[in-house]
Amino acid sequence: MFVPNASPELLAFLLPNLGVQELLIILVIAVLIFGGKKIPEVAKGLGQGIRQFKDSLKEAEADDSSTAKKQSAGEAKSST
C-alpha cells in the first residue's frame, strides 16, 4: 500500500517489520489455503490487478492534466 507524502511513522505503522519467521508462517498458511499449484496463479492475478490499478492512475492523471490545460487555454482566450 503506497501512501503519497506519508510520514515515516505512518509507514512504519502501516507496514510493520516482518521477520523471516513471520514471512514463513504467512507462506505456510497461504500454501495450506490455496495449495502449492494455485500460489503462482494467485500471484499472477495479484500482479495483474496492481498493474491495472497503476495504469488507471496514470490515465486519470493524464486526463486531469489535459483538462487543466484546456481550462487554462480557455481562460486565456476569454480574457483577451
Q: Does a structural domain hold residue 54?
A: yes
Q: Does a structural domain hold residue 39?
A: yes
Q: How far is CA 27 from the centre of its chain?
A: 22
Q: Does a structural domain hold residue 23?
A: yes
Nearest-angstrom CA–CA distance, 40 and 54? 21
Which residues form the domain of 45?
8-79
- Report the number of distinct structural domains present in the chain: 1
pTM of the model: 0.50
Q: Does a structural domain hold residue 34?
A: yes
pLDDT tens sequence for the chain (80 residues): 555 666 767 666 766 777 888 888 988 898 898 888 888 898 899 999 999 999 999 998 888 877 777 777 666 666 55
Q: Does a structural domain hold residue 2?
A: no
Q: What is the dihedral of CA 15, 43, 32, 24, to 10 degrees?
A: -40
Q: Does a structural domain hold residue 1?
A: no
* Residue reference for cell 505456510: 28
